[in-house]
Structure 1
Amino acid sequence: MSSPTPFKAATLHDVARVAGVSLITASRALGNPSLVSEKTIARVQQAVRETGYIPNLLAGGLKSRRSKTVAALVPAISVQQFLPTVEALTEALAAQGYQLILGQSGYDYAREEDLLNTLIARQPDGIVVTGLVHSPKARERLGQLRIPVVETWDLSERPVDMVVGFSHTKVGAAIAGFFLTQGWSRVGIATGNDHRAALRRDGFVAAMGRDVPTAMVPAPSSLALGRRALAELLAQDPTLQAVYCSSDAMAHGVIVEAQARGLRVPEDLAVCGFGDADFAQHMHPSLTTVHIDGARIGQLAAQMITQRCRGEATEQPIVDVGFWIAERESTGGPGHTDRQMPE
C-alpha cells in the first residue's frame, strides 16, 4: 500500500496562480483591497474559495505585533456559573475583531501555571483568568508581559493588572445573615474544596459566630456530590434546618437527596445555592441562590482588554460588580421573585 500524501495547506502563491494575478496583487486584494479593482478582488476571493486558502494570522501578527487573540482560563468548562462570563467575553471580543482561546485549569494551581506558560507562548494580546493568580512565579511573569491581564470572579487590592469580581467573604457573610434573619440556628454547609468556596465558607462561619457542620467535596461540585454532601451533613446533625451550598449544582443534589429521604424543602430543610445558574429558578422548588452578573464580568473584562490594546488608559482597574440573594421557594420565598439583599 502506498503511504497517504501528507496534507499541504494552500498558500498565497496558490491563490495568485488560480486567480491569474501577481503575488503582490493577491496580497493587496486580501489585505488592502482599496488598492485594486473590484474585478480583481472578486477573482482573488474566488481563488481563495477554490484553494481553501486560510490567511496566516501569525505572520500578520508578527508585522502588527497583534495576534488578535485573547487567552482565558477557567477552572472547568462544565461549571454552569462561568458560562455567561465566557459567552459574553467571546461575543464582546469578537465584536472588536478578537478571538478567544480557552484553557481549563481544573482547580489546580500547578496546572494553571503550566497552562499560562503555554498560552503566553502563543503571544495573545491579553489574558483573562477566572479567580486570582496565586502562583508567585505566574504573577511575576504576567506582570512582565506588558499585555493586559484581567483577573475575574474575585477581588484583590493588588491584582496582577486589573480585576473584575466581588468579595466571596462578603457572599458567605450575607448568606449567614439571611439564615439568621429566618431564625435558622441549626445550619450546615455543603462546599467544594476550591479556594473561592473556602472564602465563602469562612465568611459564613464568621457571621454565624461559630463553626457549623460542613461536608466538603472535590471541585467542581455536581448533583451527585450534592447528594453525598447532604448524607454526610445529616449524619453529623439529623436536625439541620438549612444548608448553604457552594454551587447551584450542589444545591440541586442536596434537594434531590432531601426529597429521596422524605424531607420537604423548605418546610423540613431550607436550601440555598450560589451562582444563579439558568436552571435555578425553574427547579421545583425554585432555588434560592446568590446571583452573580457573570455576563457583565465578561463584558467588562473584554472592554478592559480592548481598551488597553488600543493604547487607552483604564479608568477603573478594580471593579466590584457586587451580588444579591435571589430568594425563592427553596427557603420559603415567593418563587420566581428576586429580592436584593445588602452586600
Structure 2
Amino acid sequence: MPRRPRHWPNLVGLIIPSLRNALYAETIQGISDVLQRHGLHLMISDSGYSLEREEALISAYLSQRPCGLILHNTTHTEAARHLLQDAGVPCVETGNLTTQPIDMAVSYSNREAGRAMADHLLSRGYRRFGFASLPVSGNERLRERRDGFFEGLRVAGIEIDPAMVLEVDEGLENGSRALAELMRRDTSVQALFLAGDVLAAGAILECTRRGLRVPEDIAIAGSDDNELMQQSVPPITTVRFPRYRIGVRSAELIVARQEEARTQSLAEDLGFEIVPRGST
C-alpha cells in the first residue's frame, strides 16, 4: 500500500451498516478521539446492510481523496474490492475477523463468540435451544455468530432443530415476538440465544408478561452488551465486544499509515468476552 500524497485532504471515511444502531457509537467515539488528536476529520455514512450501497459509498469517498477508509464489514462486492486495492488508500475492515483483509483488519471472531456462548449455556446444563437474530442475508457478522453457536452445540452432540431458528427485525417488540414464537414451536425449550441485546431484552420483557422465571423456566442470552443488559431484571448474559478499542486501533493504523507505507496486510484480533449474568 503506497504512502498517500501529502496534498490529500485530512479526511477519513467510515461506512457502517446502520446509523440507527447505537452499538456503533462507541466505535465512532474511539475513531474520533484518535483522529482529532492528529488533525484529521471523520465522515460517516451508512450502507443500509447493502453491499451495492457500500460499493457506491466507497466510490464516492474515494472521489474525495481521503487519507483513509474504515469499513464495518469484511464482505464486499468484487468491484468494491478492486476500487480499494487500486486506489492505494489505507483501509481498515472491522466487524469480523478476516484472514484476508484488503489492507488491514481490526476486529474479533464472531464464529468463536458464537461457539463460546454455546459452551457457556451447555456448561449450565441446558440441552434444548432456540436461536433468533436479525436477518443474516448480507450480514456476515450475524451469520458467523449463528454458525459458531450451532458448531458449539454440534460438538456436544446437539443438532438444533431448524424450526427453532428464527429471523426477525430489530426492536424490543420483535424480541418479545421471537420468544413467544420459539416457545410456541417447542414448549420444552430451555435456553434462547438472541444474537442482539435489544432482542434479548424484549424476550425478558415477554417472560415477565407471561409470569415466566428467568432462568428457572427459560434462560436468555444476548450479544453486544449494551446498557440494557446490565439494567434488565434479571441482568442478561451476553457477549462483550471491545467496540471502543476497535475504533481507537483502527484510527491509529490509519494515522500510522500517513507516515510510512506497509506492503503486507495486517489483521489484529482484539477478542471478546462472555459476560455471565443472572439470565442464564
TM-score normalised by L of structure 1: 0.75
- Measure how far apart 1:214 and its partner are: 1.0
Q: Specify every segment of 5 or more residues in structure 2 that has no aligned partner in the other structure, as ranges.
A: none
State the SS of the aligned residue for 2:260: coil
5 Å-filtered alignment, 1:138-157, equals 138-157=80-99
Greater relative contact order: 1 or 2 (C-alpha under 8 angstroms, separation 6 or more)?
2
Residue 202 of structure 1 is matched in structure 2 by 147
Q: Between Structure 1 and Structure 2, how many residues are aligned?
A: 267
Task: Output the CA distance in 2 between the equivalents of 1:303 and 1:234.
Answer: 46
Deviation sequence 1:62-110 (CA, Å, 0-9, x none): x942211100011112223222111111111111111110001111111
Q: Give the conservation status (yes or no) of the 8 Å contact 1:81–1:276.
A: no
Task: Output the CA distance in 2 between the equivalents of 1:92 and 1:133.
Answer: 26
Residue 216 of structure 1 is matched in structure 2 by 167
Match of 1:273 among 214, 222, 226: 222
| Residue type at the aligned position of 2:148 | G
- Measure how far apart 1:122 and its partner are: 1.7
Q: Specify every segment of 5 or more residues in structure 1 that has no aligned partner in the other structure, as ranges.
A: 1-62, 332-343
| Residue type at the aligned position of 1:113 | E
Match of 2:259 among 310, 325, 329: 310
Q: Give the conservation status (yes or no) of the 8 Å contact 1:126–1:305.
A: yes
Residue 88 of structure 1 is matched in structure 2 by 30
Deviation sequence 1:42-73 (CA, Å, 0-9, x none): xxxxxxxxxxxxxxxxxxxxx94221110001
Residue 69 of structure 2 is matched in structure 1 by 127
5 Å-filtered alignment, 1:72-111, equals 72-111=14-53
Whether 2:110 is the aligned partner of 1:159: answer no
5 Å-filtered alignment, 1:276-295, equals 276-295=225-244
Q: Give the conservation status (yes or no) of the 8 Å contact 1:227–1:254.
A: yes
Task: Output the CA distance in 2 between the equivalents of 1:208 and 1:297.
Answer: 29
Match of 1:176 among 99, 111, 118: 118
5 Å-filtered alignment, 1:30-45, equals none
Q: Give the conservation status (yes or no) of the 8 Å contact 1:215–1:230.
A: no
Task: Output the CA distance in 2 between the equivalents of 1:229 and 1:134.
Answer: 30
- Measure how far apart 1:315 and its partner are: 8.8
Residue 183 of structure 2 is matched in structure 1 by 234
| Residue type at the aligned position of 1:136 | E
Deviation sequence 1:127-175 (CA, Å, 0-9, x none): 0000213211101110111110000021111111000011111111111
Task: Output the CA distance in 2 between the equivalents of 1:162 and 1:316.
Answer: 6
**Residues 144 and 314 (structure 1), Cα distance of their counterparts in 2 relative to 1, 3 Å cut:** closer
Deviation sequence 1:267-296 (CA, Å, 0-9, x none): 211111111113321222111110111011
| Residue type at the aligned position of 2:228 | F
Deviation sequence 1:208-229 (CA, Å, 0-9, x none): 11124111124xx221221121
**Residues 315 and 135 (structure 1), Cα distance of their counterparts in 2 relative to 1, 3 Å cut:** closer
Residue 26 of structure 1 is matched in structure 2 by none
| Residue type at the aligned position of 2:90 | P
5 Å-filtered alignment, 1:331-342, equals 331=280
- Measure how far apart 1:195 and its partner are: 2.3
Residue 300 of structure 1 is matched in structure 2 by 249
State the SS of the aligned residue for 1:279: helix
Bigger radius of gyration among the two? 1
- Measure how far apart 1:313 and its partner are: 4.2
Task: Output the CA distance in 2 between the equivalents of 1:77 and 1:214.
Answer: 27
**How big is the alpha-carbon RMSD for the aligned residues of Structure 1 and Structure 2?**
1.7
Task: Output the CA distance in 2 between the equivalents of 1:69 and 1:255.
Answer: 43
| Residue type at the aligned position of 1:266 | P
Q: Give the conservation status (yes or no) of the 8 Å contact 2:198–2:228.
A: no
**Residues 174 and 123 (structure 1), Cα distance of their counterparts in 2 relative to 1, 3 Å cut:** same
Quote the sequence identity (%): 34
Q: Give the conservation status (yes or no) of the 8 Å contact 2:102–2:265.
A: no
Task: Output the CA distance in 2 between the equivalents of 1:96 and 1:278.
Answer: 31
State the SS of the aligned residue for 1:157: coil
Whether 2:140 is the aligned partner of 1:191: answer no
Task: Output the CA distance in 2 between the equivalents of 1:304 and 1:178.
Answer: 34
Q: Give the conservation status (yes or no) of the 8 Å contact 2:130–2:160.
A: no
Task: Output the CA distance in 1 between the equivalents of 2:240 and 2:140.
Answer: 19
TM-score normalised by L of structure 2: 0.91
